[in-house]
Amino acid sequence: MIWGWKADIICLQETKLEGNVVDLAKQVWAGRWIKQAYLESSGTRGGILMMWDERAWRGEILEIGAYSITCKFESQLQDFKCHITGVYAPNCYKERRIVWEEVSAVRGLMEGPWAICGDFNVTRYISEKKNCTVRTRGMKEFSDFIEDMKLVDLQLEDVTYTWFKGDQQEAASRIDRILISEEWDDKFQNLKQIPLQRLILDHIPIALLGGSWERNKSYFKFENWWLESEGFIDRVREWWSSFNFTGKPDYRLACKLKSLKTKLKEWRNGEEGNLGIQRKKLLEQLADLEAEREDRILTNEESAKKSELMLKYEELIKKEEISWRQKSRALWLKEGDKNTKFFHKIANAHRRYNNIDQLMIHGELNQEPSRIKGEIVEYYKRLYKESSQWRPEYINVQCPVLTEEDNQALQSNFEESEVLRCLKLCVVDKAAGPDGFTMGFFIKCWDVVKQDIMDTFQNFYEHEVFEKSFNATFIALIPKKKGAKELRDFRPN
């Protein structure tokens, strides 16, 4: 069964084995490349066995505790390192507190991606335990531990419980799970926690799927925090005036936006357009001043410089909040409320779940990206293809009609104040099309771009045509139910 899982790293809990378990491990997962680490059981309870395929991962034991074992892994195929902790927690919530302390201490020995998996013998919520009506102290402490360790509790697909008691399943709960640190999102585009087939065990095996190592190509998105950068609008004005294109107004506007996008991509790779580079530089300068202060008293100039750097750092934090709010699309929360951590989690959750990595095609589950893309395109071509020329007849009945004054107003030319008013009614974080420019950009840079925009409106008014790319858009497929695998289970958004 283990070979059927096609896993590279396996962690088994509650082995109830003592002494040297290497021979048994070889029986469970045979192969010359299979290595193992283990924690012996205490009497008839506990015990952890961690195994890995050394062709894919180079592993070494970092720490063995009373309730956990932690190993360091380095990929043989990619530039990636991580730590994995296997846990078997006791039933008593007081004893589990020792587990949380033990695992918290282990976290201090490592950096980077970390996963903790195992049988925690406790759930987080009432819904994760059959016939449960009260959220216990143990549940709350488990949730507090996850929050304190800044772990991500991935959604478990397709099933509600992972442990069952008896053939009639009179008791059931989700006491098994895999928790990951936030760093995993930087390397994997589609992390998932899924159940595997259960045979004679009372626990359902669960797996962490990383998806493809290759990240999807991201499209350009204007960052609204750029508008807060000193001299940014003047820089945009300079670039905009340097662009020179001939043709219809709508074509010129499309070309200018495309050229501006190229300039912004180059600019964001430098210090002024990259918050990560700015943060690193500011922290290095502050660290240098702190090092100087340990040896001597700072001069007035150095103290003033430190205060200036602290102000810049506060401004940078505000810009980071604007950036993560925009990425999270949690527009119901206001900027300036110290919600950067929340925005970060929401943005990562969107990125994690906005994927269709498998799809039912002609009765078979397919995971090939090119086939999935092709099937989606063909499905919607068929769906929106008109098969009949029939049209309902118009029967002239007495309907309300527009007054002549209203009719003239609707057919009048576009006015600059009208266009700007409509822009200001839009959400500033939203981008109207695939070009990635937000409404905030057009509002703040209105004096720079208004002439080209109004020329485009005038051309549309006179000739009733505009550049085809202006009408392009992205369509997202949103799952209508948990574990959607067929196209009819998704809705366009």
Examine the pLDDT at 456 and tell me if it is beyond 80.
yes
**How high is the pLDDT of residue 373?**
87
Lowest mean pLDDT segment, chosen from 85-94, 380-389, 399-408:
380-389
Q: How confident is the model at residue 332 (pLDDT cuts 50, 70, 90)?
A: very low
Domain match, 280 and 143 both: no
Predicted local confidence at residue 354, as pLDDT:
63
Q: How far apart are CA 466 and CA 468, in angstroms?
A: 6
* 32 & 141 share domain: yes
421 falls within a domain = no
Residue of 407 and 294 predicted with greater confidence: 407
Structural domain contains residue 408:
no
Contact 221, 323 (CB under 8 A): no
Is 284 part of a structural domain of the chain?
yes
Mark whether 310 and 198 lie in a shared domain: no
Q: Is there a single domain that holds both residue 108 and residue 21?
A: yes
Tell me, yes or no, whether 161 and 289 share the same domain: no
Mean pLDDT confidence for 267-286: 84
Last residue of a domain, one of 155, 187, 209: 209
Tokens of 382: 């068929």
Query: How many whole angstroms separate alpha carbon 355 and alpha carbon 425?
Result: 31
Report which listed range, 177-186, 248-257, 471-480, is most confident.
248-257
| CATH code for the domain of 12 | 3.60.10.10
Which H helix or E strand runs over 313?
A: helix 300-328
Mean pLDDT along residues 101-126? 92
For residue 389, pLDDT beyond 90: no
Within a domain: 369:
no
Judgement on whether residues 317 and 204 belong to the same structural domain of the protein: no
Predicted TM-score (pTM) of this structure: 0.59
The answer on 168 and 311 residing in a single domain is no
**What is the C-alpha to C-alpha distance for residues 204 and 173, in angstroms, rounded to an integer?**
11
Asked whether residue 198 falls in the same domain as residue 71, the answer is: yes
For range 377-401, the mean pLDDT: 78
Within a domain: residue 147?
yes
- Measure the CA–CA gap between 35 and 52, rounded to whole angstroms: 6
Of the candidates 327, 115, 354, the residue with the CA atom closest to the CA atom of residue 215: 354
Indicate if the pLDDT at residue 333 is higher than 50. Answer: no
Identify the domain boundary among 188, 209, 230. 209
Q: What is residue 383's predicted lDDT score, i.e. its pLDDT?
A: 80
Q: What is the predicted pLDDT for the residue at 326?
A: 65
The three state secondary structure string of 98-120 is: HHHHHHHHHHCCCCCCEEEEEEC
Q: Of all residues in the chain, what percent are helix, strand and coil, respectively (each to 5)? A: 40, 20, 40
Beta strand 48-53 with 9-13: parallel, antiparallel or unpaired? Answer: antiparallel
CB 5 within 8 A of CB 205: yes
Q: Which of 353, 368, 401 corresponds to the end of one domain?
A: 353
Query: Domain span at residue 191?
Result: 2-209
What's the domain count of the chain?
A: 2
Asked if 107 and 70 count as a contact pair (C-beta separation under 8 A), the reply is no
Q: How far is CA 333 from the centre of its chain?
A: 18
Residue 238 within any structural domain of the chain? no
156 and 47, same structural domain? yes
Task: Tell me if 166 is assigned to some domain.
Answer: yes
Q: Region 217-230: what's the mean pLDDT?
A: 81
Does residue 152 share a domain with residue 19?
A: yes
For residues 45 and 173, membership in a common domain is answered with yes
pLDDT digits (tens, 9 = 90+) for 440-450: 899 999 999 99
Average pLDDT value for the chain: 84
Residue 313: name the closest of 340, 274, 273, 286 by CA. Answer: 286
Asked if residue 423 belongs to a domain, the reply is: no
Same domain (yes/no): 96, 183: yes
